[in-house]
Amino acid sequence: MSTGEIENLQKKFQIRTSGSNADIGPFRIRDQQPKSAKQIAPEVQKNPNVMTNEERVLRQVPIEASRSVLDEFENSDLNEEQSKSDASDLDRALSVLMSNQDYKMAANIAFQMMQVSSLSYEKLKTLHDVFEKAGDQTGQEEALLRMLNDCELESAEQFATLKSLGNVQLRLQDFDGAEESYFKAYRIDPSSDALLVNMGTLEFRKQDYQQARERFVQALTANSENDRAWVGLGLVHSCYGDFVLAIANLERAIEINPNNRTAIQLYSEMAFKHGSLHKLVDRVEAYLLSESDDIEILLIHSKVCLVLSQYQACLDSAQRIADLSPEHEEAARLIQAAEGHMQRGSNS
The alpha carbon torsion through 115, 120, 125, 128 (nearest 10 deg) reads 10
- The answer to whether position 204 is within a domain reads no
Q: What's the pLDDT score for residue 205?
A: 96
Q: What's the pLDDT score for residue 283?
A: 94
> Per residue in 277-306, pLDDT tens?
999 999 999 999 999 999 999 999 999 999
Domain housing 311: 292-348
Long-range (24+ apart) CB contacts under 8 A made by 264-272 are 264/297, 264/300, 265/296, 265/297, 265/300, 266/231, 266/234, 266/235, 266/238, 268/300, 268/304, 270/238, 270/243, 270/246, 271/247, 271/304, 272/304
Judge whether 224 and 242 are in contact, CB under 8 Å: no
> Per residue in 215-238, pLDDT tens?
999 999 999 999 999 999 999 999
- The answer to whether position 186 is within a domain reads no
Q: What's the pLDDT score for residue 194?
A: 97
Judge whether 213 and 233 are in contact, CB under 8 Å: yes
- The answer to whether position 4 is within a domain reads yes
Structural domains counted in the chain: 2
> Per residue in 237-257, pLDDT tens?
999 999 999 999 999 999 999
The count of other CB atoms within 10 Å of the CB of residue 347 is: 6
* pLDDT > 50? residue 102: yes
The vertex-97 CA angle with 92 and 103, nearest 5°, equals 135
Mean of pLDDT values over 265-287: 92
- The answer to whether position 203 is within a domain reads no
Look at residues 94, 120, 151 and tell me which one is the last residue of a structural domain. 151
- The amino acid at residue 182 is Y
Look at residues 118, 151, 184 and tell me which one is the last residue of a structural domain. 151
Give the single-character DSSP code of 148.
Answer: H
- The answer to whether position 161 is within a domain reads no
- The answer to whether position 231 is within a domain reads no
Distance CA 65, CA 205 (A): 43
- The answer to whether position 215 is within a domain reads no
Look at residues 124, 151, 178 and tell me which one is the last residue of a structural domain. 151
- The answer to whether position 250 is within a domain reads no
